[in-house]
Amino acid sequence: GQQLNQSPQSMFIQEGEDVSMNCTSSSIFNTWLWYKQDPGEGPVLLIALYKAGELTSNGRLTAQFGITRKDSFLNISASIPSDVGIYFCAGQFLSGSNYKLTFGKGTLLTVNP
């Protein structure tokens, strides 16, 4: 089945620093999604990407859909303490009735104030 490799597994940064994380796949996806999960909560959608090469921003967050359709990255600029959490990438491939979301294993972000 499709698998996503998300890296890094964890990051420890200082407030104000920029952050970058990425996901790669052995298969192509039609859609790439980035979620954030806070403790005790479900994931919340941050950014959705629908076309190869697409670059989309949401405030301090920027994500790109790789040209090969097999990778995506998420950047967070000028990090703040509330950015702490687990960030997940997810890919969706549409083929007939098969449209399951495949998730990466997450990047745990810690921001030191």
Does the protein bind another protein through residue 98 (CB under 8 A)? yes
Site string for another protein, 17-56 (x = CB under 8 A): --------------x-x------xxxxxx--x--------
Does the protein bind another protein through residue 80 (CB under 8 A)? no
Of 15-23, 55-63, 75-83, 98-106, the segment contacting another protein by CB under 8 A is 98-106
Indicate if the alpha-carbon torsion angle 63, 47, 111, 15 is positive or negative.
Answer: positive
Give the residue among 46, 78, 80, 79 at the shortest CA–CA distance from 63. Answer: 46
